[in-house]
């Protein structure tokens, strides 16, 4: 079995860009923005068309980052 590929090197944090929020490759496009586009139902192709500076691996990096970030949180279910 091959080792999974990580794309986290595409996620950068710089206090002078977007107030230190995680961004895609140092651009002024936050990981949160990419995730919100995906959550809105936009397809990869639609996002890549609208944001020509993005690459498919950037979208996958945002998802990977969110998956790792969500594993550190505890959700409280209210019935």
Domains in the chain, please, with CATH? 10-70 (1.10.10.10)
What is the per-residue pLDDT for 70? Answer: 75
Whether this prediction's pTM lies above 0.75 is answered by yes
Q: What is the mean pLDDT of residues 16-42?
A: 96
Strand partners, 54: none
pLDDT-derived band at 24 (thresholds 50, 70, 90) equals very high
Is 63 in a helix, a strand, or coil? helix
Spatial CA neighbour of 64 closest among 2, 25, 8, 5 = 8
Instruction: Find the Cα–Cα–Cα–Cα dihedral 18, 19, 22, 28, rounded to 10°.
Output: 10
């Amino acid at each position: 079995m091959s080792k999974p590929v990580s794309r986290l090197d595409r996620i950068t944090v710089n206090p002078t860009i977007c107030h230190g929020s995680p961004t895609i490759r140092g651009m002024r496009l936050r990981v949160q923005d990419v995730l919100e586009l995906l959550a809105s139902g936009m397809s990869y192709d639609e996002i890549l068309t609208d944001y020509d500076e993005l690459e498919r691996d950037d979208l996958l990096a945002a998802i990977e980052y969110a998956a790792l970030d969500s594993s550190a949180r505890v959700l409280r279910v209210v019935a």
